[in-house]
């Protein structure tokens, strides 16, 4: 099942409720909330009060992507504010297993995120614990960056691992998703598609969501062919060498 998760990072924060609602009317079924602390990433965004405000105006799951250091200290506040899903970066968690259990203990779905430079196999031990794995297809910190194509083989690898180990996590992708990239990520196996600038910086968020979802669903119906050959290193490993700087 393909789901669209608009990132409110690119929304007009003065009109946040209306913009989020418009994206949901266009078919979005999750709202992605980017939390940045100015330490783990070179940018600062929002915290629990904004999640609490969104909770009041929207019924869809709130997917809180924590790009912060020491996430354990803030997980209770995000859960209290109404987060449904909370994801943390593998790179930010010294005791990742403990952090994922902490998220679940607060009644939220735990997710784990990997940066473009982090291999899928860094997650081997925690895959049975997570509701979703979020593959960053840009370096986190900003909206509107260029899609990093080496993320495609990481999505493919996750999909294979899930099948071979008979696990149930969902595969989410975040960064540079728009009309030119959405088909490739869907064919690689991504199911939850985060998009910020493609939804909130192209005019009507409702229509933008509708069109992007349409492209994604169309790609999901196409036979998978030739994807790996477009990615240096194919699907055999997850180290890859393709680089794309913003």
In the complex, the residues that contact ligand DX5 under the rule CB under 6 A are: 7, 9-10, 32, 34, 65, 138, 140-141, 143-145, 174-177, 194-198
Residue nearer to ligand DX5 on the CB measure, 35 or 157: 35
Q: How far apart are CA 114 and CA 50, in angstroms?
A: 25
Chain centre distance of CA 233: 23
Q: Does 3 bind Zn ion (CB under 5 A)?
A: no
Is 34 buried (19+), middle (13-18) or exposed (0-12) by CB count in 10 A? Answer: buried
- Least CB distance to Zn ion at residue 240 (A): 21
Q: How far apart are CA 232 and CA 160, in angstroms?
A: 18
Residue nearer to ligand DX5 on the CB measure, 40 or 169: 40
- Least CB distance to Zn ion at residue 65 (A): 4
Q: How far apart are CA 61 and CA 85, in angstroms?
A: 7
- Least CB distance to ligand DX5 at residue 123 (A): 18
Q: Report yes or no: 8 and 19 within 8 Å, Cβ to Cβ.
A: yes
Figure out which of the listed residues 19, 84, 156, 174 binds Zn ion, where binding follows CB under 5 A: 174
Q: How far apart are CA 54 and CA 83, in angstroms?
A: 10
The DSSP symbol for 91 reads: G
The DSSP symbol for 1 reads: -
| Site mask for Zn ion (CB under 5 A), range 32-51, x = bound | --x-----------------
Q: Does 63 bind Zn ion (CB under 5 A)?
A: no
Question: Closest CB to ligand DX5 belongs to which residue?
Answer: 196
Task: Check 37, 174, 184, 238 and give the catalytic one.
Answer: 174
Q: Does 187 bind Zn ion (CB under 5 A)?
A: no
Neighbours of 74 (CB within 10 A): 19
Q: How far apart are CA 123 and CA 222, in angstroms?
A: 29
Q: Is 37 a catalytic residue?
A: no
Q: Report yes or no: 136 and 94 within 8 Å, Cβ to Cβ.
A: no
Question: Which residue bears the tokens 């194509």?
Answer: 149
Chain centre distance of CA 137: 9
Residue nearer to Zn ion on the CB measure, 36 or 123: 36
177's contact among Zn ion, ligand DX5, none, with CB below 5 to 8 A by partner kind, is ligand DX5
Residue nearer to Zn ion on the CB measure, 123 or 227: 123
- Tell me how many residues contact Zn ion (CB under 5 A): 3
- Least CB distance to Zn ion at residue 10 (A): 11
Q: Is 72 a catalytic residue?
A: no
Residues marked as catalytic: 34, 174
């Amino acid at each position: 099942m393909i789901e669209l998760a608009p990132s409110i990072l690119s929304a007009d924060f003065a009109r946040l409720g209306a913009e989020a609602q418009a994206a949901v009317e266009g078919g979005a079924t999750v709202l992605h909330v980017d939390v940045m602390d100015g330490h783990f990433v070179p940018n600062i965004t929002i915290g629990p009060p904004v999640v609490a405000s969104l909770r009041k105006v929207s019924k869809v799951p709130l997917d809180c992507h924590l790009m912060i250091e020491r996430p354990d200290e803030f997980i209770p506040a995000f859960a209290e504010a109404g987060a449904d899903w909370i994801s943390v970066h593998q790179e930010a968690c010294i005791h990742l297993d403990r952090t994922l259990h902490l998220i679940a203990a607060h009644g939220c779905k735990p997710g784990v995120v990997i940066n473009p430079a982090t291999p899928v196999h860094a997650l081997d031990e925690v895959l049975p614990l997570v509701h979703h794995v979020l593959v960053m297809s840009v370096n986190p910190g900003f909206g509107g960056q260029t899609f990093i194509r080496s993320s495609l083989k990481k999505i493919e690898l996750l999909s294979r691992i899930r099948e071979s180990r008979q696990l149930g996590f969902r595969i989410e992708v975040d960064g540079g998703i728009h009309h030119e990239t959405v088909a490739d990520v869907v064919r690689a196996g991504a199911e939850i598609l985060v998009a910020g600038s493609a939804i909130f910086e192209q005019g009507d968020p409702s229509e933008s969501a509708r069109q992007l979802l349409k492209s994604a669903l169309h790609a999901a119906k196409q036979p998978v062919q030739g994807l790996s050959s477009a990615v240096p290193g194919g699907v055999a490993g997850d180290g890859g060498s393709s680089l794309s700087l913003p």
